Structure 1
Amino acid sequence: MPKDSTAVIGEIENPILRQKVATERDRMRAERALDLAHEELKNAEAAAARLPAVEAELATVRRMLDRPVKLDATLKAPAQAKPSVKAPTALGTIALAVSAEIVRRLDGTDPADFIKQVRPGDEWRLVRRYAQKAATDPAYTNVAGWAQELTWTGLGPDFVDRAPSAVIPQLLGAGAREMNFRGHNAMSYPRRLRDTLPAAWKEEGTEIPVKAGMFGSVTLNRYSLGVIATLSEEIRRVSRPQIVDVVQQGIIDDSARALDGFFLDANTPVAGVRPAGILNGATSQVSAGNDVDSVQVDLKWLLGHLIGIRARRPVFIINPLRVASLSLTTAPGTGTRPYQAELERGTLAGVPLVIADNAPADQVIAMDADSLFMGIDIPEIDMSNQAMLVMSDDPANDSGGTPVRSLFQTWEVALRFVQPASWGFGRPDTVATLTSVDW
């Protein structure tokens, strides 16, 4: 029968029993400690047994690290950049082809050899290919199919880059619209006239007003400027790289100067011959003077014209002499130069300047470049060393008696240059000119 709680508590509190319990607890702890010691001893013996093998493995690794190691590595060659290729320009290709043909006719040098000699290097291969196509006999630049990619680009970009002081190249860069004839005798470009379709307020339920749109067009007829030059045997003595530069710069300078002269005159159009100069029928006014107040009056008049025609891309065409003189103009009493800083930025009264050597020295021309349409096609060049030439610089008005020259007999080559060109405006009253300018 189980003891009651009072008896159990009494036994636990008995000192003798308590001593027995403590003794038994110490014995069990000692046995547990002994078992753990035996287990650790076993593990130590196993580790001691593996120690020689571990030491051997470490020695092997140490020997491998200490001895030199020879590695054979193969690296791929770095990719080589492809050589740059010179993009063929219309003007550069023509000059190279013309030079090749001149040399061929004078001393029989094959055009391909000449082109290769003056434009060596892989970067010129595209230029050489087009130039060789152009240098075909008897005519090359006007033979369809020789390099239509170049033909359609025209000479505008070349003139812009290489004849920066001429008027027409700068106008092309200032926003004039370039047209290409592409073999046609005329090109027409439609254009909407401004302020012809304004909307109007309407009351609910009422009719919307109907208005007729007014459209116009610009038609450029294909005109041509031409000249023939004779070249003697002396041209063969020019070093071969230089002959290309001579021909190219001759085309640029002569074409730019001639075109600017006709472009800026006041002549009327002649059917089948030439377009009108841009000053034909232009609004004009005499300059007020050369002091600061007078210059302000002149500028207000020019700006009034541009504002009146709502110019989208206004420009002033001005001679560099006027720019230099105006930049030195001083304000009375202060000695300051009110126009110098702006002129250095290429503007005057906020309007971009076309500073051109061929511009009239006593005029300042204001116009909207956006209304100007220009067609400057690639020139047609041919040559002959057997032709008979009438040696006259004005054949149409020659009264007779002009000598005839045999190129075969004089051992010369004649170079014929024909430049198709035309221009026109999309709207009337686009140009105004300030005359008798003495700024």
Structure 2
Amino acid sequence: MSYDLERVARQASEAKELAVHTSRALRDLKRGTKTGLSGRDRFVRHAVLRALAAGRHGINYADVWRERYGERAVTDPAMTTVPTWAVELAPADVGEFLADGQQPLALSRLAPYGRSVSLAGIAALKIPFRAPGADVGGWVAEGAPIPVDDMAFGTVSLSPRKAAAISIFSGELKKRANTDIEALIDTALRADLAAIVDAALLDDQPASVSRPPGLRYNVTAVAASAATDPVAAMRADLAKLVGEIVAGGGTMPVFIVSPVQAVSLSFVPALGYPVIDTVALDPGVVIAVDGPGFVSGVGGAVVDSSKDATFHTDTVPLPVVAGGLAAAPTRSLWQTDSIAVRAIVETAWGVPAGRVAWMEAVKW
């Protein structure tokens, strides 16, 4: 009898707690207040819960949620409608994760100057833009015909591509679960994804079945100034890059530089154009992109973890076993008491022809 009374009392307490949470959520919704974690925090927390649940038989990430964050509820809280939890990571969550923190991606900083689209459920997407051409129109006398514009448009094609990274942690990670595990996973995933995405964004390689085209693909480098005075060379180089963008129909160049060139640009008073610095770009290389012409998108993401997988630990991995041959070297997570967290993100970008210019070996 006492057991039944205790169970009823516990259920009543949980029901009351759930009712309070529901009441607060409805109140905040009515007021229009934003509740819950940011998209960045949801992304990281999702990875943390996956990592802590890895290898624990009979324990899933919803159970870890209740253990770590003190949540108790009659029903499983793993719902996309709950502000502090998301089973499926929305594009907004992924975008906030990539754009926030101490290591924001160059892609995420360039995207706000242009047009952002959702890639959810998209196989290919064509974005129209107006091709540069002679201006049409003018002052018209009474009764005279008005000039007609043929409104020629071009398109930028986006095909989502998959950027993926696997970060491996030792079993000691779980011992740090009450301190800085979120910071560790946040830093690791951001560094891994930044190395993949930004390197592809800024290189000169064509699009393929696995990646979007680099901004410098099929764009001939502009000759840098030969002036020996660094300040004079900088002025000439920036003016030449801006001129290239304007000639291609662009309106607002955004400069992408290495931290070395960013230091030099910081001494230019009132430059007037945005500057993005990134370690993904070699020193001496400067890229100018027409901000409004840049189109990008982010789809959903998958974050999961394992404590039992075996990997081919190489920068160009092969199947662990193919044709009866084993790849080398390999690593067993179970044998080394390690945890692997895997993040897969869909992304794509594009820019109209003529709206990217770049140069190398600048002298400033």
Change (3 A) 1:178 1:363: same
Look up the match of 2:128. Answer: 190
Q: How does 1:150-161 map to 2 (within 5 A)?
A: 151-153=90-92, 155-161=94-100
Structure 1 residues 380 and 112: CA distance shift in structure 2, 3 A? closer
Tell me the secondary structure at the aligned position of residue 285 of structure 1. Answer: coil
Amino-acid identity (%): 23
Q: 1:156 to 1:112 in 2, by over 3 A?
A: closer
Query: What is the CA distance between 1:273 and its match in structure 2?
Result: 1.6
Q: d(CA) in 1 for partners of 2:142 and 2:80?
A: 67
- Indicate the structure with greater helix content: 1
AA partner of residue 417 (structure 1): A
Asked if the contact 2:50/2:304 (under 8 Å) is kept, the reply is no
CA distance in 1 between partners of 2:254 and 2:99 (Å): 16
CA displacement 1:407-434 (0-9 Å, x = unmatched): 4555544333222121111x21111112
1:243 aligns with 2:181: yes
Q: Kindly tell me: are residues 205 and 397 of structure 1, through their superposed partners in 2, closer, same or farther at Cα, counting changes over 3 Å?
A: same
> Which of 352, 364, 381 is the matching residue for 2:274?
352
Residues of 2 paired with 1:276 and 1:100: CA distance? 34
Match of 2:108 in 1: 169
Q: Which has the higher contact order (CA 8 A, sep 6+)?
A: 2
Is structure 2 residue 306 aligned with structure 1 residue 384?
Answer: yes
Deviates more, 1:253-262 or 1:158-167: 158-167
* 1:308 equivalent in alignment to 2:247: yes
Which residue does 2:356 correspond to in 1?
431
Equivalent residue number for residue 291 of structure 2: 369
- Looking at structure 2, the residues matched to 131 and 87 of structure 1 have their Cα atoms a distance apart, in angstroms, of 5
Partners of 1:160 and 1:172 within 8 A in 2: no
Once residues 438 and 280 of structure 1 are traced to their aligned partners in structure 2, the CA distance between those partners, rounded to angstroms, is 23
Deviation at 1:107, TM superposition (A): 4.3
SS of the residue aligned with 2:54? helix
Partner of 1:179: 117
Aligned residues: 324
Deviations 1:204-232 (A, max 9, x none): 66665555221222211111122334444
Query: SS at the partner of 1:383?
Result: strand
2:82 aligns with 129
Question: Structure 2 vs 1, CA of residues 397 and 278 (structure 1 numbering), >3 Å: closer, same or farther?
Answer: farther
Shift in alpha-carbon separation, 1:435–1:231, aligned structure 2, 3 A: closer
Superposed displacement of residue 289, structure 1: 3.4
Please identify the structure whose Cα radius of gyration is greater. Answer: 1
Distance 2:238 2:60 in 1: 59
Contact 2:128 2:153 in 1 (8 A): yes
CA deviations 1:34-55 (Å, max 9, x no partner) are: xxxxxxxxxxxxxxxxxxxxxx
Deviation at 1:402, TM superposition (A): 2.0
Q: Which amino acid aligns with 2:42?
A: T
Contact 1:223 1:422 in 2 (8 A): yes
Pair 1:206–1:302, CA change in 2 (3 A): closer
Tell me the equivalent position of 1:12: none
- Structure 2: where are the runs of 5+ without partners? 1-23, 73-77
CA separation of 1:352 and 1:99: change in aligned 2, threshold 3 A: closer
How does the TM-score come out when normalised to structure 2?
0.74
2:259 corresponds in structure 1 to 320
Contact 2:309 2:332 in 1 (8 A): yes
3-state DSSP of counterpart to 2:42? helix
SS at structure 1 position matched to 2:40:
helix
SS in 2 for 1:198: coil
Of 217, 232, 247, the match for 1:280:
217
Superposition CA RMSD, Å: 3.6
Does the 8 Å contact 1:172/1:178 carry over to 2?
yes
Q: In structure 2, the residue corresponding to 1:428 is in which secondary structure? A: coil
Distance 1:227 1:293, change over 3 A: closer
- Contact 1:232/1:411 (<8 A) preserved: yes
Query: Which residue in 2 is equivalent to 1:28?
Result: none
For 1:286, what is the secondary structure of its paired residue?
coil
- The two structures have a TM-score, normalised by structure 1, of 0.63
**Match of residue 115, structure 1, among 55, 62, 65:** 65
* TM-aligned CA distance change 1:192 to 1:323, over 3 Å: closer
- Any idea what the Cα deviations from partners look like across 1:63-93, whole Å, max 9, x if unmatched? xxxxxxxxxxxxxxxxx9x898643333321
What displacement does 1:198 show? Answer: 1.6
Structure 1: any 5+ residue segments left out of the alignment?
1-79, 135-140, 142-149, 328-339
Letter in 1 for 2:165: V
1:256 to 2:194 alignment: yes
CA contact (8 A) 2:165 2:189 kept: no
Say yes or no: does 1:95 pair with 2:79: no
